Amino acid sequence: MSATKGLEGIVAAESKISSIIDDTLTYVGYGIDDLTNNATFEEVVFLLWNTRLPNAEELANLKQELANNMDIPAAITDLFKSMPLNTVHPMAALRTAVSMLGAFDEEADVMDAEANYRKAIRLQAKIGTVVTTFARVRQGKEPVAPKPELGYAANFLYMLKGEEPAAIEIEAFDKALILHADHELNASTFTARVCVATLSDVYSGVTSAIGALKGPLHGGANEQVMKMLTEIGSIDKVESWVQNKLDNKEKIMGFGHRVYRGGDPRAPHLRVMSEKLTKLTGKPELYDMSVKIHDMIVEQKKLPANVDFFSASVYDSLGIEHDLFTPIFAVSRTSGWVAHILEQYANNRLIRPRAEYVGPDMQKYVPINER
Ligand SMILES: CC(=O)SCCNC(=O)CCNC(=O)[C@H](O)C(C)(C)COP(=O)(O)OP(=O)(O)OC[C@H]1O[C@@H](n2cnc3c(N)ncnc32)[C@H](O)[C@@H]1OP(=O)(O)O
Ligand SMILES: O=C([O-])CC(=O)C(=O)O
């Protein structure tokens, strides 16, 4: 029995939700380019949860249900107010708040498929409000109630900033939500599936997944990319900064991927958005710096940018605080996590692999006064 470090290449589940084959990403067989160019986030949510696209009535119903369920318990706002707001990371706040949402859901432990689908809607509806409420409480501002007539992406930006976003902002944010919605058996989705395979509840699965997404090798990389861009500061410093990191064998955040070899198909969409939005906000240097970093890493390390690289300058251009980038990833990925949770329940078996024991053998207990 020998271990495969990081489970690389191990097929650990069957899934109908998304696939990555030869650097091509599909959700339920629909290409990511097709969906990003033509669908809305709500359509993608329906697709992931039902493994088919909705008709007009089904889409209208889902939008309505999401809008109807965006409110969160006042206790969550109070919870945020009780946190050490100068130091708590928004992902830690989100992880705790999603767990608390479960405590407030009377159906949390009702395990039939209909109840789980209702929880999926409630959780997807509320998670955006949780993130925006935290952001506002932290700034000493009042939370903004959602506007039912706005779509999911527009509502998020509206609740975050307190003013209705421009069409171009809604379009970019909606596309970003689509691009982050699902990604086969990534670390956080696997975490969610392991959790609920014990027949634990949806909230436990998503809480665990948030914990896994938080790390900088996974979703936390987008915040780190922005930290890097901020630290570098200007385009003339890119070369020496990046070279120094590479010479010291340090990782450059936003590059590399366990599965993609030729490139992450989501990155080109974010790159186009980054170019457009950084120009509009008068910060084109952010895009130019990103391209310069990109070209150096591709040339020297042959590592393509992943989804987290250009998303950083996109979110910055939308006026979003940098430590909210990963919570926004979580808002989108909740759709994928929940899809995988529902799929796991539908054909469940406990996930319990083995470990190769490499510790000492045949030890004999030594009484404490003899150690
Ligand atoms: C949404 C997402 O989760 S996308 C990924 C987000 N994470 C990041 O951007 C963090 C930076 N990237 C990485 O750490 C990795 O590429 C991961 C975690 C994404 C993939 O990890 P793995 O498949 O385990 O690859 P691993 O870390 O073993 O890297 C393989 C080799 O490439 C190098 N490498 C991988 N990524 C990078 C990078 N970003 N910068 C520099 N070198 C890198 C490693 O140092 C290693 O080199 P070595 O063989 O000489 O030791
Ligand atoms: O698939 C992965 O390993 C990480 C990733 O890109 C994602 O979760 O979007």
Per-residue model confidence as pLDDT tens digits over 21-45 = 999 999 999 999 999 999 999 999 9
Look up tokens 């982050």; give the residue: 180
pLDDT at residue 2 tops 90: no
Q: Which atom of ligand 2 is nearest to the CA of 308?
A: 6
Q: Is residue 162 part of a domain?
A: yes
Ligand 2 pocket, residue 307 CB under 6 Å = yes
Q: Is 105 a catalytic residue?
A: no
Q: Is residue 44 part of a domain?
A: yes
Q: State the angle between helix axes of 152-161 and 167-180 in degrees (0 to 180), rounded to the nearest 10.
A: 110
Question: CA-based angle 165:118:334, to the nearest 5?
Answer: 50
- Expressed in angstroms and rounded, the spacing between residue 251 Cα and the centre of ligand 1 is 7
Do 312 and 255 lie in one domain? The reply is yes
pLDDT for position 198: 98
How many residues are there in the chain?
371
For 276, the domain range is: 221-317
- Across the range 196-224, mean pLDDT stands at 98
Distance, in Å, from the CA atom of 121 to the CA atom of 186, rounded to the nearest integer, reads 22
For ligand 2, atom 2, which residue shows the shortest CA distance? Answer: 186
Q: Is residue 58 part of a domain?
A: yes
Tokens in use for 233? 């500061």
- The per-residue pLDDT for range 289-316, each reduced to its tens digit, is 999 999 999 999 999 999 999 999 999 9
What is the tally of structural domains in the chain? 2
Tokens in use for 293? 């970093």
Q: Is residue 249 part of a domain?
A: yes
Q: Looking at the CA of 215, which ligand is closest?
A: 1
Q: Is residue 352 part of a domain?
A: no
Q: Which amino acid is at 314?
A: V
pLDDT at residue 276 tops 80: yes
Do 128 and 273 lie in one domain? The reply is no
The overall longest dimension of the chain from CA atoms, in Å, is 76
Ligand 1 pocket, residue 308 CB under 6 Å = yes
Q: What is the pTM of this model?
A: 0.97
Distance, in Å, from the CA atom of 15 to the CA atom of 36, rounded to the nearest integer, reads 21
- The per-residue pLDDT for range 172-208, each reduced to its tens digit, is 999 999 999 999 999 999 999 999 999 999 999 999 9
Do 202 and 232 lie in one domain? The reply is no
Tokens in use for 319? 């006026």
- Across the range 111-126, mean pLDDT stands at 98
Q: Is residue 361 part of a domain?
A: no
Do 32 and 150 lie in one domain? The reply is yes
Mutation to probe ligand 2, out of 186, 193, 269, 340 (largest number of atoms < 8 A from CB): 186
For ligand 2, atom 8, which residue shows the shortest CA distance? Answer: 186
Look up tokens 């949806």; give the residue: 202
Do 279 and 307 lie in one domain? The reply is yes
Q: In Å, how far from its chain's centre is CA 11?
A: 22
Do 178 and 327 lie in one domain? The reply is yes
Q: In Å, how far from its chain's centre is CA 101?
A: 18
Do 288 and 327 lie in one domain? The reply is no
Q: Is 247 a catalytic residue?
A: no
Query: DSSP readout, 292-357?
Result: HHHHHHHHHH---B-HHHHHHHHHHHTT--GGGHHHHHHHHHHHHHHHHHHHHHHT----------
Q: Is residue 9 part of a domain?
A: no
95 with 81: CB under 8 angstroms? no
pLDDT for position 235: 97
209 with 218: CB under 8 angstroms? no
344 with 310: CB under 8 angstroms? no
Distance, in Å, from the CA atom of 104 to the CA atom of 113, rounded to the nearest integer, reads 19
Distance, in Å, from the CA atom of 195 to the CA atom of 204, rounded to the nearest integer, reads 7
pLDDT for position 259: 98
CATH number at residue 251: 1.10.230.10
Tokens in use for 44? 């993608």
